[in-house]
Copies of this chain bind each other. A is one copy, B any other.
C-alpha cells in the first residue's frame, strides 16, 4: 500500500480546538475551547415535541429522499423572515438549506475557487472556514482585524494586489475568535471595495441573532443591490448544532451550481430536522427561544468579564463584545501564549491560542480565546480563577 493523497489533502488535519477538547470534559479540564452552545440553552423538550409532530407527517415528506435545496416551507419562511426582520435579501435572491453554515462555506469555495485562487479573509478568523479554503488549494490573504472590523487600508491594498480575488470572507457580527463587530461604516466600505474591485463577499453570520446589548448593525447583504454578497446563516448557535441546519442566501444566478455541489455532497439535509426548525419559526417559539438564549449568554458574558477583571485584572486587556460566544483576551507581551495555554490545560482549563486562528500563525500573537457559552456559570468562575492563578506563575 503506497497510495498517496491528493495535493489538496496536505492541509487536511484535525482542528487544534478538537485536540484541546480531548483533554476537557467531566473529570478533566474545563472547556473554554470550543464554540459549543450551553446545554442549558438548547430547548431539548421543544425539539423532542416538534420532532414527534414531524414524524406524524406522511413518510414522503419526512423519511424519503427530499429536495436538495431544502424543505420548501422552511425556505419560504426563512426568506420572508430575513426580509421582514433584518431587511436581508431581494427578489433576485434564492436560499438553500445547508448542514450548518459550515457546508455553505464549503460549497461556495468549491463552486467559485480554482486551486491557486485568492480568498481575502479577516485575520484571525474561524478555523473551520480557513481549513475549507485550504482544502481547495486556495491562497488565503489575511487582513488584520481591528476592534471595529478589518483594517480598510490593508483590505484595499490586498484587493489591488490580487485583482482576481474570488471573495472577501467576513464575520461582521461578534467575530470568531475576537468577538469584535464590524462597524456600519466599515461594512459599507467593504461593499464598496468589493464592487470597485469586482469581487464577491461571503458574509458569515452565525452570531447575528445573539446580540445582548447595543443596537443591531445592518448586514452587508442588506446593502446588496448588485447580487455580490453570499450570506450564510445557521441555527447551530440559536437552537442546536446537533440538528445541523444552516442556510445560504445568494443571487439566483449562483443557485444551480451551489445546489449541484450540495447534491454531490449529501443529496439533501435530513427533512425532520428542517421541519423542526420550521415549526420553531412558525409556531412562535423561536422568539422565546432567542430571548432565553440571549438572557443565558448575556449573564455568562457579564460573569466572564467580571471574573476576568477580578482574577486577571490589570495584567490582561479585552474588548467586551456586545454579543456572540467569545471574549478575546490579550496577555502581557512578556508572556508566551503557548506556555500560558499549556499551563492552563495542565491546571484544568482548556483555552485556545489566538494564533491558532491566524492565516499564518504568529507564535508571538498575545491573545487567547474564551468561549463563555458552553461552561456552566460555576465552571466559568472556577475556570477564570484558575487562569488567574496560572497568570501569577508567569
Contact = CB atoms under 8 A, between A and B. Distances in A.
Contacts of A226: 1
A211 interface: no
A227 interface: yes
A226 B115 CA distance: 33
A256 interface: yes
Interface in A292-329: none
A340 to B, nearest CB: 25
Interface of A: 1-3, 5-9, 12-15, 18, 34-37, 39, 42, 44, 47-48, 51-52, 55-56, 58-60, 62-66, 68, 99-100, 102-103, 106, 110-115, 117, 128, 131-132, 135, 166, 198-200, 226-228, 240-244, 251, 253, 256-257, 259-261, 263-273
Contacts of A18: 68
A138 to B, nearest CB: 10
A14 B68 CA distance: 10
Given A59-B42, A270-B243, A228 B112 contact: no
A66 B261 contact: no
A265 B102 contact: yes
Given A102-B266, A257-B5, A44 B59 contact: yes
9 contacts: A5-B112, A5-B257, A6-B117, A9-B257, A36-B65, A242-B270, A242-B271, A266-B266, A270-B270
A115 to B, nearest CB: 7
Contacts of A35: 65
A103 B270 CA distance: 14
A110 B9 contact: yes
A2 B198 contact: yes
Nearest to A265: B106
Contact of A102 (B8, B110, B117, B267): B267
Given A47-B55, A253-B1, A266-B266, A6 B135 contact: no
B100 A266 contact: yes
A14 B259 contact: yes
Nearest to A113: B6
B260 A241 contact: no
A18 B200 CA distance: 30
B48 A64 contact: no
Contacts of A64: 36-37, 39, 42, 240-242
A102 B56 CA distance: 27
Nearest to A198: B2
B12 A103 contact: no
